[in-house]
Amino acid sequence: MIQVRPTWPMMLPWKDGQGQNLSLREIVKSRRFSVTYLLSIMFLYAMLGYGSRDCFTPSEAIICDFALWPSQLFEAPHLYILSLFTSIWFHNDPNHFLLILVVILLFFQTAEVRIGTRRALMALFGVQFLVAILMTLYLYAGTQLYPDDPWYLHGYSGRNYMGGSVGLFGVMGVLFAQIDKPVAGALFYA
């Protein structure tokens, strides 16, 4: 974990906090979760493919069992809580999968080195859980206030949610909060 507040948030995956090249062993040691997550999602994609909201094929059905279904918060809370942990490992299309790969390679691995693996994971899962629960409650409230509105009904009980992009964007926010000029750094990406 690096204590100095850098001007620029990102680090190349093969460098340390001082810009020195790392060996493969040092890369894996300093970025344990990033490497594990990348290898895991690539393995799951190779075995099962992309997830779907339809759950027609056997592999889609497996992924659907691990995806987050908002209606389960009240119908099967134990499955909802489990899916908070499992839904980040599956992705629903090539664009989403590529986005996750890029965000891990550019930002999460940097956060893992700059703020530590534990804090990076707390940010990832904390933001993921918070947004999932808030959106579930929002969609549930929408179905109660507007029971005939198809948008709320579909969002609450007609589809699932998967992927770790929400939590990863939360980690990006934490990472930008750690630099000298966070607003200037964030505006660079706007």
Cα–Cα distance between 65 and 48 in angstroms, integer?
A: 13
| Interacting residues of 134 by C-beta distance below 8 A, sequence separation 6+ | none
Task: Note the pLDDT of residue 173.
Answer: 86
Which tokens hold the place of 77? Answer: 């809370």
Contact 91, 97 (CB under 8 A): yes
Task: Note the pLDDT of residue 13.
Answer: 86
- Candidates 186, 33, 38, 40; CA nearest to 119 is 33
Cα–Cα distance between 30 and 187 in angstroms, integer?
A: 28
Task: Note the pLDDT of residue 20.
Answer: 87
Which tokens hold the place of 148? Answer: 């005939």
Which tokens hold the place of 185? Answer: 């750094």
Q: What angle do CA 118, 73, 136 make, to 5 degrees?
A: 80
Task: Note the pLDDT of residue 55.
Answer: 86
Task: Note the pLDDT of residue 182.
Answer: 67
Domain ranges of the chain: 24-189
Q: Give the largest CA-CA distance in the chain.
A: 59
Cα–Cα distance between 147 and 142 in angstroms, integer?
A: 7
The pLDDT averaged over each successive group of 10 residues in the chain (190 residues) is: 65 83 89 94 93 87 94 96 95 90 91 91 95 97 96 93 91 82 66
Q: What is the DSSP letter of 6?
A: -
Q: How many CB atoms lie within 10 A of CB 171?
A: 28
Task: Note the pLDDT of residue 61.
Answer: 92
